[in-house]
Amino acid sequence: MEEREEATKDVEVAPALIAVHPHQRSVAVAIGPDLRVFDLHASAAVSLVDDSGGPFHSDSIRAARFGAKGKLFVSAGDDKIVKIWSTEFWRCFCTVSSEKRVCAVAISIDGSYVCFADKFGVVWIVDLTGYDGNQPLGDKKATAILSHYCSIITRLEFSPDGRFIVSADRDFKIRVTVFSKRPLNGAHEIQSFCLGHTEFVSCLAFVHGQDCPQDFLLSGSGDSTVRLWDISSGALLDTCEVSIKAGLLESSGEAQENDHAITDLCTVLDSLLVAVAVQSLQGIVLVSCNHSARTLSVAKVVPFAGEAFVPIGLGYCPSEGILWMITGASSLPRSSCPSLARVRVISGFDVEQEPAVVEDDKVPGGEKLLETLQGTVSVNGNVFLEAAEAVKTAMCNLLIKKQYPAENRDFRKRTRNDRKFKP
Amino acid sequence: MPETEVNPTHSKSTGLPRKRFYRARAHSNPLSDSHFPVPISPSHVDYSLHYPQFFPSAGQANNSKKIQFADIGCGFGGLLISLSTLFPETLMIGMELRDKVTEYVKERILALRVANPGQYQNVSVVRTNSMKYIPNYFEKAQLTKMFFLFPDPHFKEKNHRRRVISPHLLDEYAYALEVGGIIYTITDVEELGEWMKSCLENHPMFEALSEKELEADPVVKLLSSATEEGQKVARNGGQTFPAIFRRIVPSDQTP
Ligand SMILES: C[S@@+](CC[C@H](N)C(=O)[O-])C[C@H]1O[C@@H](n2cnc3c(N)ncnc32)[C@H](O)[C@@H]1O
């Protein structure tokens, strides 16, 4: 039998995703097969147009993001299609099919290439060079450029200078590969491996130095740490034990293993701070990043009073200084409401102010935005806690290897269907 | 054995482990998840466990010696044993997926160390899946030689991705090898030989050794004679198909 696609219900649970336009022209939320976009300039929901001739998403979207310049947007997931959108009029001009389910996407810094990773650890590239943004692109085929052997790739990221493509996986590994001038010929030259995490790597982000030209890489992991790396050598510069340093282990008493996996992170305030979302935490941990000393330290925890809200996805808009957060999931088992999304924002990162969660009516775009992105304005906190819990279970099932005791393993072998003889 | 206790799995006359106690399934599936310890990074590999004579105490930082040869899918370890005396100052390791076979190689090396004091101190073996964990064992450009002798053929098209030589895995081997380092492959399966050769030819970071270089390299002769699999093929008068390439700097990198 080949690597099985885990068929358990919990794995089908797909976390809600959020993506923020780099200049906050729009905000997008993906929930199940739904892509919801709100245009903040027009202050209206966007109606998506499909010029590509391809189908719309028919299964959970697992990755959705803007390009660095904000002109392009990509969505992809379990339906094995990658849709590339021009954000000008929100037209999908290209639909690429993948052999396997897609779990991560990235857009090259200059917007010339879209890369995506499938569930078998292969990274593919789609060439958009010379595309003028107006015509639908004909049939586009993806080309494989590199592979993490039989691992699940969790994130893909281009370095800000465009020289490297970084891929993270469930086997604790981060690979940094030279993104050559002719990337369709493959990405063969490995610059480094960043090794040090002791659980799956869940998220990546780059930090830019203020006075030093070197960009460092940040990673978050199921091992509850955020780490800082020099990608040119793969050297681990610092490790921040977020859940211990933020006092999460005490507050929740006997913490279960993997209870405090890092689910997402993003840099805020010109990379001076890193906002970190942690499993089961009703709040955001702010980690300060000292670029010249190459250190990370927990600055504070922004708790959420009142409504129960465990953020699982983050997006930051540098021009507005606003952190967008999402919780929710689709395909929830045992729930009256199979798909849920809740969006909140934090503002006030400027040094003099205290960052705080903004009331719904003060959110950019107001209740109209919330209605578009969440599907509803009214919210009941408890269902979101359940959703966050379901996402946590799904993430653990997918990314953490089961430790079968030896006897169990033998039993599994004996009862495996593919080995059973026909009666 | 130093103490004269009788070990039923070892030969009484030579003290060497007997292969029949260490046989396992002929092929194992490298895609299935097994559980064995994996070092977090190359700096976590405990050299004092593998090479106690070179590294008398754990965590000896001043000894900068590193493993330079890797025999991937080493099987019963015949190649390592031959290389050990040919390059007595070079540290080398076998990587083997099958548990019992790895145990056999371990016992074999220990027995040889006892029988030949001062020798075979530079060879060791680990049980691991080389397709996943090479970067956990070796730093960039650490290796000078990698060996892939008589790898499992995986004939079916859909199983080609299980082959230890593939276009994408070569990226990792190119990473672990220093520029000028050499990758040795050999098989008795013609189709696999063609496959390995074409993967290497089409990779921008490898180039074939010339006839002259092959003749001058003492290791080349060992490929078909030193391993258990090679000897079996030779006994049956089978043909072998080697492909031996050097790690080079890719051409779009040269100024
Ligand atoms: C046909 S044997 C050849 C052994 C040896 N090189 C020789 O020539 O006698 C191939 C060996 O590779 C091992 N192997 C297969 N896949 C492997 C992997 N992914 N990592 C490590 N060893 C592997 C198998 O267990 C087997 O012992």
* 3-class DSSP string for A185-227: HCCCCEEEEEECCCCCEEEEEEECCCCCCCCEEEEEECCCEEE
- How close is the nearest chain B Cα to the Cα of A122, in Å? 9
CA A230, A235, A238, A241 dihedral sign is positive
Could you tell me which chain A residue has the CA closest to the CA of B138?
Answer: A193
| Domain chopping of chain A, boundaries | 13-45+304-399, 48-150+170-187
Task: Quote the ligand 1 centre to B188 CA distance (angstroms).
Answer: 14
DSSP A234: T
Using a 10 angstrom Cβ sphere, with 0-12 exposed, 13-18 middle and 19 or more buried, the burial of residue B173 is buried
Residue B98 CA: which ligand 1 atom is closest?
Answer: 25
Residue B230 CA: which ligand 1 atom is closest?
Answer: 8
Is the CB of B219 inside a 6 Å radius of any atom of ligand 1?
Answer: no
What confidence tier does B59 reach under pLDDT thresholds 50, 70, 90? low
The CATH fold of domain A48-150+170-187: Methylamine Dehydrogenase; Chain H (2.130.10)
Identify the pLDDT of residue B173: 98
Cβ atoms B159, B53 nearer than 8 A: no
A190:B40 CB<8 A: no
Residues of B marked as catalytic: 152
Residue for token digits 């080398």?
A: B92
Cβ atoms B158, B100 nearer than 8 A: no
Domains and CATH numbers, chain B: 46-247 (3.40.50.150)
B174:A185 CB<8 A: no
Tell me whether B25 touches chain A (CB under 8 Å).
no
Tell me whether B135 touches chain A (CB under 8 Å).
yes
Tell me whether B250 touches chain A (CB under 8 Å).
yes
Three-state DSSP at A152 gives: coil
Closest residue CA from atom 10 of ligand 1: B151
Identify the pLDDT of residue B58: 61
Identify the pLDDT of residue B4: 41
Identify the pLDDT of residue B219: 97
Residue B73 to residue B128: CA distance in whole angstroms:
9
* CA neighbor of A197 nearest in space, from A226, A176, A217, A233: A226
Task: Quote the ligand 1 centre to B179 CA distance (angstroms).
Answer: 25
Q: Where are the beta strands (DSSP E) in A339-415?
A: 340-347, 356-357
Residuewise pLDDT in 10s, chain A (423 residues): 333 444 444 558 899 999 999 999 999 999 999 999 999 999 999 999 998 888 899 999 999 999 999 999 999 999 999 999 999 999 999 999 999 999 999 999 999 999 999 999 999 999 999 876 677 877 789 999 999 988 999 999 999 999 999 999 999 999 999 999 999 999 999 999 999 999 999 999 999 876 677 889 999 999 999 999 999 999 999 999 998 877 776 544 444 555 789 999 999 987 789 999 999 899 999 999 998 899 999 999 998 887 888 999 999 988 888 999 999 988 777 666 778 899 999 998 876 678 989 999 999 999 999 999 998 777 776 777 888 888 888 888 888 865 544 444 444 444 444 333 333
CA B187, B23, B73, B107 dihedral sign is negative
Q: Which residues contact B221 (CB under 8 A, 6 or more apart)?
A: none
The percent of residues above 90 in pLDDT, for chain B, comes to 76
Residues in A closer than 8 angstroms to B250, CB to CB, are 188-189
Tokens of A31: 């929930």
Segment B62-71 shows an average pLDDT of 89
Tokens of A202: 């869940």
Interface probe, candidates A163, A173, A189, chain B, greatest B C-beta count within 10 A: A189
Is the CB of B30 inside a 6 Å radius of any atom of ligand 1?
Answer: yes
Identify the pLDDT of residue A420: 36
- How close is the nearest chain A Cα to the Cα of B141, in Å? 11
CA–CA distances in Å: residue A308 to residues B126, B153, B189: 49, 56, 63
pTM of the model: 0.90
Compute chain A's Rg from CA coordinates: 21
- How close is the nearest chain B Cα to the Cα of A174, in Å? 10
Residue A290 to residue A271: CA distance in whole angstroms:
9
A196:B41 CB<8 A: yes
Identify the pLDDT of residue B175: 98
Q: Can you say which residues of B are annotated as belonging to the binding site for S-adenosyl-L-methionine? A: 73, 96-97, 129-130, 149, 227-229
HEC string of chain B?
CCCCCCCCCECCCCCCECHHHHCCCCCCCCCCCCCCCCCCCHHHCCHHHHCCCCCCCCCCCCCCCCEEEEEECCCCCHHHHHHHHHCCCCEEEEEECCHHHHHHHHHHHHHHHHHCCCCCCCEEEEECCHHHHHHHHCCCCCEEEEEEECCCCCCCHHHHHHCCCCHHHHHHHHHHEEEEEEEEEEECCHHHHHHHHHHHHCCCCEEECCHHHHHHCHHHHHHCCCCHHHHHHHHCCCCCEEEEEEECCCHHHCC
For A409, phi then psi, to 5°, come to: -65, -45
Residue B221 to residue A176: CA distance in whole angstroms:
37
What confidence tier does B31 reach under pLDDT thresholds 50, 70, 90? very low
Is the CB of B107 inside a 6 Å radius of any atom of ligand 1?
Answer: no
Residue A131 to residue A133: CA distance in whole angstroms:
6
B226 or B10, which is more confident:
B226
Identify the pLDDT of residue A405: 44
Q: Mean of the per-residue pLDDT values for chain B?
A: 88
Length of chain A in residues, anyone? 423
Identify the pLDDT of residue B233: 93
Identify the pLDDT of residue B6: 52
Of the partner residues B35, B136, B253, the one whose CB lies closest to the CB of residue A195: B136
Is the CB of B94 inside a 6 Å radius of any atom of ligand 1?
Answer: no
Our CA angle for B193, B194, B197, nearest 5°, is 85
- How close is the nearest chain B Cα to the Cα of A374, in Å? 39
Task: Quote the ligand 1 centre to A198 CA distance (angstroms).
Answer: 27
CA–CA distances in Å: residue B173 to residues A341, A346, A399, B80: 44, 46, 26, 19
Is the CB of B184 inside a 6 Å radius of any atom of ligand 1?
Answer: no
Tell me whether B203 touches chain A (CB under 8 Å).
yes
Identify the pLDDT of residue A336: 66
Tell me whether B204 touches chain A (CB under 8 Å).
yes
Identify the pLDDT of residue B37: 87
Half-sphere exposure in the Cβ direction for A334 (13 Å, CA): 6
Identify the pLDDT of residue B1: 35
Of the partner residues A122, A190, A195, the one whose CB lies closest to the CB of residue B171: A190
Task: Quote the ligand 1 centre to B254 CA distance (angstroms).
Answer: 36
